[in-house]
């Protein structure tokens, strides 16, 4: 692992250069990631562990299928009446002493947050893991404004100190093993605060202890915290943050100013609806009956916690997804990450290949809708699937992934037909698939399904060597259409 | 158009296909109990599964039990919320434990230097091994049960419900009163390093629950 020289012009560790949107299409990224044996080993072990835990905890709940159906119905109700629930939430938040802000896109959200932080005079903020602020790249916006944003979730800390990007929604450092984490802590912690103890071993308990000491100092002085939110309850104005480590509680409780940045789809109609989601989410995500800590707060409570409370409601492409009657189903997602843990493509290529803060099945159906189909990476995402359907089985809100994926592939095909100048995402998938013998086992499944939509001729017109050998040496233009399902049945863990 | 109006307009335009009817009925009965043969037994079992220690005592024995647990744990000073039982407080004081009031409010550093905290709870969930604090006077504001490294919580047997739905139903009143809630299931934990569970990251590293029957 290379140690990155500190950049004296920055307050926080520099992330890797480039942006997600500037990344090449999925096949190119996936190819790079497949070459990383450490990543694949880490991922295989971690996802196998978490899948087993999930299965165990789900099996304990006899009403599981009823709960999933209820969750899907509640989320569909929210989406169908989103304007009403947003206004209701705004009114209740305001009544409870919170200030509500609205942001059309990521830049606007970042601007609002930066101004709110500036108004407090703070130059450092502590952050609870939040997907939406990753979407908007808030940390870098704050850095440019001279404000240091410190990630406090252990995995996010590993990612931040490692000059890295998250690769999983729930376990962002899932691609790092303990030895790498030890090296990162030893090299970087001292530059940004309390250093790691010199004799630090790679024992996870010791590593967690080093993070505790490093972050405690930040919690004890922070004046401003930035959080996301798992749910906003429309009928009470309550925000909910579900977490494990207690860093969330620290951020939500100790500073005087709390700014929560939340996607507009995070609503639930009533407080009672939480009984459904609080049973589904922990079991689906970490495979626990209940996560260690859940915090709920409603605006300002006199004498308890932050007295300056803000909520930023972020669109950033959500209304684009909402406008698609088929695609909007992806907005049900509660970010449990079960779909990525079960996904055979995710498991092999890891989260970084997707060029999106949301990897795996949810990433390939949500990201192209949030960002649109302008970039090659977004057009290629719907093809990063074999349509095996494993994700459908585990999704707690019943998202019908194959339906959405096929729908999005059609949209991509239409777009590329009408705008011939675009780099054809499908072609890229096909060439990658058949041009690399070693990837064939994975990618024939990806490409095969693409073939269902576009017809096999698109893949076989101009395959480069050695794919050309492969095609000429065999009769079948594409792998048999049912091959993947059979394969999946055979190898399914 | 300002951002608010524009987002709302986009939402409405995006939902042009929605009909007028109620739609999306939710087929779910709220607030149901989960049938359990022994609610308290399940609560104890599930807490212990999450590495929390649970001590079952008869209600009159809570005071002496607090003294014993604090002593065993080497806690010589504990934050004591203003509304927590005065009899228990007297017992703990008599045993030589320094009892610290949050009046005037303790600073973060003072809390960080305090050995532990004793609180009540609002409701507890058997199936998940969870206690929920609504931070009323017998529990104190949120920081009290967060920053000290040792948390002793006293739960009455009649506060333990079977599962999450019953707890949510109980907690509606707290939410309507504007109270924050903290759901605690075992101690602070992380699985961020190779999915290996490590107990105790930022929250109190030790959680002891005294279940008073
Ligand atoms: S799509 Fe479903 S399974 Fe995937 S993260 Fe969202 S809720 Fe979980």
Dump the DSSP string for A211-271. HHHHHHHHHHH-SEEEE--SEEETTTTEEEEEESSSHHHHHHHSSSEEEEEEETT-EES-G
Say yes or no for a CB contact (<8 Å) between A301 and B135. Answer: yes
Residue B109: CATH number of its domain = 3.40.50.10420
| Per-residue pLDDT, B20 | 64
Neighbour order of strands in the sheet with A148-151: A99-103, A308-314, A257-263, A224-227, A124-127, A148-151
The span from the CA of B135 to the CA of A53, in Å, is: 32
The CATH fold assigned to A17-80+334-419 is: Fumarate Reductase Iron-sulfur Protein; Chain B, domain 2 (1.10.1060)
| A residues 326-385 closer than 8 Å to B (CB) | 328
Say yes or no for a CB contact (<8 Å) between B129 and A178. Answer: no
The span from the CA of A400 to the CA of A379, in Å, is: 20
| Per-residue pLDDT, A4 | 56
- Burial class for A186, CB neighbours closer than 10 Å (0-12, 13-18, 19+): middle
Which one is predicted more confidently, A481 or B112? Answer: B112
Nearest CA to ligand 1 atom 6: A333
A178: closest CA of chain B, how far (Å):
6
Neighbours of A79 (CB within 10 A): 23
| A residues 225-244 closer than 8 Å to B (CB) | 233, 236, 238, 244
> Radius of gyration over alpha carbons of chain B, in Å?
21
* Fold match, A17-80+334-419 / A82-318: no
pLDDT tens by residue, A184-210: 999 999 999 999 999 999 999 999 999
| Per-residue pLDDT, A428 | 53
Structure letter (DSSP) for residue A466: T
User: Is the per-residue pLDDT at A461 higher than 70?
Assistant: no
Percent of chain A with pLDDT over 70: 81
Residue B23 within a domain: no
- Tell me the pLDDT band of A166, cut-offs 50, 70 and 90: confident
Say yes or no for a CB contact (<8 Å) between A279 and B109. Answer: no
Domain, as residue range, for B116: 34-212
Nearest atom within ligand 1 for CA of residue A365: 1
The span from the CA of A111 to the CA of A116, in Å, is: 9
- Encoded tokens for A19: 């942006």
Say yes or no for a CB contact (<8 Å) between B7 and A102. Answer: yes
Q: Ligand 1 centre and the CA of A84: distance in Å?
A: 25
Structure letter (DSSP) for residue B208: E
Say yes or no for a CB contact (<8 Å) between A291 and B185. Answer: yes
Question: Which conformational region is residue B50 in: left (phi greater than 0), alpha (psi within -120 to 50 degrees), or beta?
Answer: alpha
| Per-residue pLDDT, B50 | 85
Map out the domains of chain A as residue ranges.
Answer: 17-80+334-419, 82-318, 422-491
| Per-residue pLDDT, A113 | 98
Sign of the CA dihedral running B160, B165, B166, B167 = positive
Residue B189 within a domain: yes
- The tokens 């304007």 sit on which residue? A83
The span from the CA of B138 to the CA of B148, in Å, is: 17
Say yes or no for a CB contact (<8 Å) between A246 and B188. Answer: yes
Residue B28 within a domain: no
- Encoded tokens for A42: 């880490």
Residue B197 within a domain: yes
- Which residue from A minimizes the CA distance to B104? A303
The span from the CA of B167 to the CA of A462, in Å, is: 62
Say yes or no for a CB contact (<8 Å) between A319 and B7. Answer: yes
- Report whether B26 contacts A70 (CB < 8 A): yes
pTM score, whole prediction: 0.90
Summarize the confidence of residues A157-186 as an average pLDDT. Answer: 87
- Encoded tokens for A440: 């064939």
Q: Ligand 1 pocket, A339 CB below 6 A?
A: yes
- In order of A279, B29, B119, B133, B184, the CA distances from B170 in angstroms are 16, 16, 19, 12, 16
The span from the CA of A87 to the CA of A93, in Å, is: 10
Q: Ligand 1 pocket, A276 CB below 6 A?
A: no
- Which residue from B minimizes the CA distance to A304? B141
User: Is the per-residue pLDDT at A433 higher than 60?
Assistant: no
pLDDT tens by residue, B57-90: 999 999 999 999 999 999 999 999 999 999 999 9
- The tokens 């009817």 sit on which residue? B21
| Per-residue pLDDT, A8 | 74
Among the listed residues A60, A193, A224, the one whose alpha carbon sits nearest the alpha carbon of residue A128: A224
Q: Ligand 1 pocket, A335 CB below 6 A?
A: yes
Please state the separation of Cα A421 from the chain's center in Å.
Answer: 31
The span from the CA of A227 to the CA of A149, in Å, is: 11
| Per-residue pLDDT, A426 | 56
Q: Ligand 1 pocket, A170 CB below 6 A?
A: no
Summarize the confidence of residues A2-25 as an average pLDDT. Answer: 70
Render the burial of A279-304: b for 16+ CB within 10 Å, e for the rest.
bbbbbbbbbbbbbbbbbbbbbbbeeb
Residues in CB range of A10: below 8 A, 6 or more apart: A143
| A residues 76-95 closer than 8 Å to B (CB) | 76-77, 79-80, 82-83, 86-87
Helix A401-418 vs helix A440-454: crossing angle, to nearest 10 = 70
| Per-residue pLDDT, A27 | 63
Show residues of chain A in contact with B105, CB under 8 Å. Answer: 303
- Report whether B201 contacts A247 (CB < 8 A): yes
| Per-residue pLDDT, A454 | 38
Number of structural domains in chain B: 1
| Per-residue pLDDT, A22 | 60
- The tokens 């809390």 sit on which residue? B111
Among the listed residues A324, A296, A152, A323, the one whose alpha carbon sits nearest the alpha carbon of residue A221: A152
Class of domain A82-318: alpha beta
The span from the CA of A288 to the CA of A424, in Å, is: 43
| Per-residue pLDDT, B22 | 56
- Report whether B122 contacts B170 (CB < 8 A): yes
Nearest CA to ligand 1 atom 4: A339
Lowest mean pLDDT among A90-99, A270-279, A412-421, B201-210: A412-421
Residue B54 within a domain: yes
* Of A69, A253, A323, Cβ closest to residue B27: A69
Residue B7 within a domain: no
User: Is the per-residue pLDDT at A249 higher than 80?
Assistant: yes
Residue B1 within a domain: no
Nearest atom within ligand 1 for CA of residue A362: 1
Summarize the confidence of residues A295-323 as an average pLDDT. Answer: 98
Long-range contact set of residues A435-443: C-beta below 8 Å, sequence gap at least 24: A435/A463, A435/A464, A435/A465, A435/A466, A435/A467, A436/A31, A436/A467, A437/A466, A437/A470, A438/A34, A439/A31, A439/A34, A440/A470, A442/A34, A442/A344, A442/A345, A442/A348, A442/A349, A443/A27
- Tell me the pLDDT band of A371, cut-offs 50, 70 and 90: very high
Helix A440-454 vs helix A483-491: crossing angle, to nearest 10 = 150
Q: Ligand 1 pocket, A396 CB below 6 A?
A: yes
Nearest atom within ligand 1 for CA of residue A169: 5
Which one is predicted more confidently, B147 or A21? Answer: B147
pLDDT tens by residue, A26-73: 766 666 665 567 777 778 888 899 999 999 999 999 999 999 999 999
**Number of CB pairs < 8 Å for A and B?**
241
Q: Ligand 1 pocket, A333 CB below 6 A?
A: yes
Nearest atom within ligand 1 for CA of residue A401: 1
Residues in CB range of A84: below 8 A, 6 or more apart: none
**Consecutive 10-residue runs of chain B (213 residues): their mean pLDDT?**
97 88 80 97 94 94 97 96 97 96 96 96 98 98 96 98 98 98 89 79 91 97
pLDDT tens by residue, B165-180: 999 999 999 999 999 9
* Reduced 3-state DSSP string for B90-155: HHHHHCCCEEECCCCCCCHHHHHCCCEEEECCCEEECCCCEEEECCCCCCCCHHHHCCCCEEEEEE
Averaged pLDDT of chain A: 84
Sign of the CA dihedral running A128, A265, B171, B163 = negative
| Per-residue pLDDT, B78 | 97
- The H or E element that residue A309 is part of is strand A308-314
Structure letter (DSSP) for residue A298: E
Mutate to test the interface with A, among B32, B179, B194 (most CBs of A within 10 A): B194
Nearest CA to ligand 1 atom 2: A395
The reply to whether A178 touches chain B by the CB within 8 Å rule is yes
Q: Ligand 1 pocket, A299 CB below 6 A?
A: no
DSSP characters over A23-70: SPPHHHHHHHHHT-HHHHHHHHHHHHHHHHHHHHHHHT-TTHHHHHHH
Residue B19 within a domain: no
Show residues of chain B in contact with A102, CB under 8 Å. Answer: 2-4, 7
Nearest CA to ligand 1 atom 8: A336
Instruction: Out of A51, A64, A362, A394, give the residue to mutate to test ligand 1, the one with the largest number of ligand atoms within 8 Å of its CB.
Output: A362
- Tell me the pLDDT band of A80, cut-offs 50, 70 and 90: very high
Sign of the CA dihedral running B113, B119, B123, B126 = positive
Percent of chain A with pLDDT over 90: 63
Show residues of chain A in contact with B12, CB under 8 Å. Answer: 83
């Amino acid at each position: 692992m290379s140690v990155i020289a500190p950049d004296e012009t920055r307050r926080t560790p520099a992330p890797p250069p480039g942006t997600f949107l500037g990344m090449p299409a999925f096949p190119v990224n996936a190819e790079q990631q497949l070459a990383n044996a450490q990543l694949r080993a880490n991922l295989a072990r971690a996802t196998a562990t978490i899948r087993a835990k999930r299965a165990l905890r789900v099996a304990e709940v006899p009403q599981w299928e009823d709960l999933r159906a209820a969750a899907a119905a509640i989320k569909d109700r929210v989406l169908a009446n989103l304007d009403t629930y947003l206004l209701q939430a705004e009114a209740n938040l305001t009544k409870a002493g919170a200030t509500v802000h609205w942001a059309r896109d990521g830049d606007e959200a970042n601007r609002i947050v930066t101004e709110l932080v500036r108004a407090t005079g703070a130059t450092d903020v502590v952050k609870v893991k939040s997907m939406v602020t990753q979407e908007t790249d808030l940390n870098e916006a704050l850095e440019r404004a001279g404000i240091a944003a410190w990630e406090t979730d252990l995995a996010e800390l590993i990612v931040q100190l490692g000059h890295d990007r998250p690769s999983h929604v729930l376990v962002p450092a899932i691609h790092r093993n303990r030895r790498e984490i030890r090296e990162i802590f030893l090299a970087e912690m001292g530059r940004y605060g309390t250093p790691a103890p010199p004799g630090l071993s790679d024992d996870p308990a010791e590593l967690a202890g080093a993070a505790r000491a490093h972050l405690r100092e930040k919690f004890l002085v922070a004046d401003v915290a930035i959080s996301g939110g798992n749910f906003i309850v429309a009928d009470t104005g309550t925000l909910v943050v579900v977490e494990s480590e207690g860093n969330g509680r620290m951020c939500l409780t100790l500073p005087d100013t709390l700014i929560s940045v939340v996607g507009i789809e995070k609503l639930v109609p009533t407080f009672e609806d939480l009984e459904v989601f609080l049973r589904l989410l922990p079991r689906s995500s970490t495979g626990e009956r209940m996560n260690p800590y859940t915090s709920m707060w409603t605006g300002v409570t006199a004498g308890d916690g932050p007295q300056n409370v803000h909520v930023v409601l972020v669109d950033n492409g959500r209304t684009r997804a909402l406008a698609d009657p088929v695609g909007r189903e992806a907005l049900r997602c509660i970010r449990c990450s079960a779909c990525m843990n079960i996904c055979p493509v995710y498991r092999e290529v890891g989260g970084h290949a997707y060029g999106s803060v949301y990897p795996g099945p949810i990433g390939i159906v949500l990201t192209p809708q949030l960002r649109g189909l302008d970039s090659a990476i977004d057009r290629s995402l719907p093809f990063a699937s074999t349509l095996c359907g494993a994700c459908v089985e585990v999704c707690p809100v019943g998202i019908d992934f194959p339906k959405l994926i096929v729908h999005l592939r059609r949209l991509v095909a239409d777009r590329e037909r009408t705008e011939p100048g675009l780099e054809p995402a499908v072609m890229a998938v096909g060439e990658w698939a058949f041009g690399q013998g070693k990837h064939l086992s994975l990618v024939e499944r990806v490409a095969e399904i693409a073939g269902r939509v576009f017809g096999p001729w698109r893949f076989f017109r101009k395959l480069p060597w050695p794919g050309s050998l492969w095609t000429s040496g065999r009769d079948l233009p594409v792998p048999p259409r049912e091959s993947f399902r059979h394969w999946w049945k055979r190898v399914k863990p | 158009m300002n951002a608010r109006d524009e987002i709302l307009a986009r939402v409405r335009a995006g939902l042009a296909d929605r009909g007028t009817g109620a739609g999306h009925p939710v087929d779910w009965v709220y607030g149901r109990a989960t049938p359990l043969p022994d609610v308290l037994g399940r609560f104890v079992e599930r807490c212990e599964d999450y590495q929390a220690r649970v001590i079952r005592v008869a209600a009159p024995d809570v005071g002496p039990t607090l003294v014993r647990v604090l002593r065993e744990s080497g806690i010589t000073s504990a934050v004591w919320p203003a509304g927590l039982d005065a009899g228990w407080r007297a017992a703990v004081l008599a045993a030589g434990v320094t009892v610290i009031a949050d009046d005037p409010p303790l600073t973060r550093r003072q809390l960080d230097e305090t050995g532990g905290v004793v609180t009540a709870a609002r409701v507890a969930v058997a199936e998940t091994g969870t206690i929920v604090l609504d931070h009323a006077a017998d529990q104190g504001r949120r920081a009290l049960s967060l920053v000290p490294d040792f948390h002793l919580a006293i739960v009455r047997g009649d506060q333990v419900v079977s599962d999450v739905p019953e707890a949510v139903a109980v907690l509606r009143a707290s939410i309507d009163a504007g109270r924050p809630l903290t759901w605690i299931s075992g101690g602070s934990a992380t699985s961020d390093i190779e999915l290996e569970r490590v107990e105790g990251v930022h929250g109190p590293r030790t959680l002891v629950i005294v279940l008073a029957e």
